[in-house]
Amino acid sequence: MNSRHTGPQRRTLLAAAAGAVGLAPFACLRAQTAKEVKMAMVAPLSGPWARGGQLMLAGAQMAIEDVNKAGGIKALGGARMTLVTADAGDSVDKARSAVQRLLSQEPDLVAGSGAWLSSFTMAVTEVTEREKLSWLTNSYADPITSRGYRYVFQTSPKATTFINESLPRLVEIIQAATGRKPKSAAILADNTASSNAYAKPLAEKLLKENGLELVQHETFTPPLSDATAMVRKMRSVAPDLLVLLTSNVPDTKVILDKMAEFKLSGKVAVWGGSGAFGSPEMAQVIRREALDGLIFCVANWTVKGQEELAKRFIERSKEPFMSHEPISTYGDVWTLKEAIEMAGSTDRVKVGDALHRISIQSGPAAVAYYGGVKFTESGLREGSHVLLVQWQGGIPKVIGPAEVAIAKPTGLTR
């Protein structure tokens, strides 16, 4: 699927005609003013992960409108930014094919954002790296910026950072809420790259290091049709904590519904390992009493200082809240806008060089990305944070770190 917001072409044609009768400088200026700066977005817009892709697209579209309303790319004479999208679908192969088609159809792309699922991002960035197309992503998997690529920029912390930082905090929260420290844990995970990046270090050492015995570890291929066997075993081993590593709402619903059927809701604390647990659809398909108390970790969510941004997004999109997908892609568009301004060019290599030099501590990109925007040599964003978010009253609210939290943790027993 392609979505383009085209700028006026008639002025460019008139300017070219003027140049033919001796007004070449004026013509060049007008052509530059009307020029489009094309940004790519690849995201799952169909299949089980489509909702995440749609939210990403909504955030990017809002940012594109804001950039253009603010005067476009000033270093290029007010050039307008436009968004060209492609559907990553439901598989790695489809995601790779989508970006290959996009690059073939749109050879003047300047940079891009997206892919959402880490396994999709890995495949997409193999292609974009060869084309020197700078790519911003909020996917978590460690290898994304561990391959020596120059044109890949990871705006979120790595998966191992998520686990290392959030698990000790989670254990403390559970202990404070229940009066006792959790002693055992189960892992139910799909086999996507992001989930594997979480599950492996947890199973190998991190649970043990935090005083948790691993009593169950199961992996499945999405979509999940039945969780009976997994949940029946969970009931028999009776963990204090379930680490639920699903990457889409339907699979999450299947497991949580089965837990309710087996009367495990409220007896096992549930920790979701990704932003998929903050999807608006969770509140539509799962009862509030089943959701409230569930905690998940994420790289970006509405925190202190983003209230006005979130309000505008909610009014524009009619979504119940602004989740990590639109916040991140909103920040990506503004980050790329600033890089193009710094480069003073749409040349891909120059834009990539600018991203390696950029340091944004104020303005829309810094509002969207708590901590600002600056990248290491490997492409990892410096100062990125792990946020703990909890469903409270049917809305996911940031409960940590305390300096940006908008709510305090509540009891984990549901």
CATH of the domain at 199: 3.40.50.2300
Which tokens is 78 given? 């007010």
Reference 197, options 145, 166, 223, 160; nearest CA is 160
Residue 16 domain flag: no
Asked if residue 68 has pLDDT above 80, the reply is yes
How many domains does one find in the chain? Answer: 2
Q: Are 77 and 152 members of one domain?
A: yes
Q: Which amino acid does the sequence have at 236?
A: S
Classify strands 269-272 and 241-245 as parallel, antiparallel or unpaired: parallel
Q: Are 260 and 391 members of one domain?
A: yes
Q: Are 272 and 221 members of one domain?
A: yes
Helices 324-343/50-69 angle, 10° precision: 40
Structural domain range at position 342: 35-157+304-374
Q: Are 243 and 285 members of one domain?
A: yes
Q: Convert the pLDDT of each residue in 145-198 to its tens digit.
A: 999 999 999 999 998 888 888 899 889 888 877 888 999 999 999 998 778 878
CA of 129: how far to CAs of 93, 156, 348, in Å?
A: 17, 19, 11
Q: Which amino acid does the sequence have at 252?
A: T
Across the chain, mean pLDDT equals 88
Claim: this prediction has a pTM higher than 0.85: no
* pLDDT at 268 (0 to 100): 87
What span, in angstroms and rounded, lies between the C-alpha atoms of 371 and 260? 39
Higher pLDDT, 399 or 124: 124
Residue 179, classed as helix, strand or coil, is: coil
Residues 6+ apart with CB under 8 A from 368: 300, 306, 309, 327, 328, 330, 331, 334
What span, in angstroms and rounded, lies between the C-alpha atoms of 206 and 334? 36
Which tokens is 235 given? 């009931």
pLDDT tier at 249 (50, 70, 90 boundaries)?
confident
Mean pLDDT of 287-315: 89
* pLDDT at 177 (0 to 100): 74
- Sheet strands (E) in 246-386: 269-272, 295-298, 359-360, 373-374
Q: Are 113 and 146 members of one domain?
A: yes
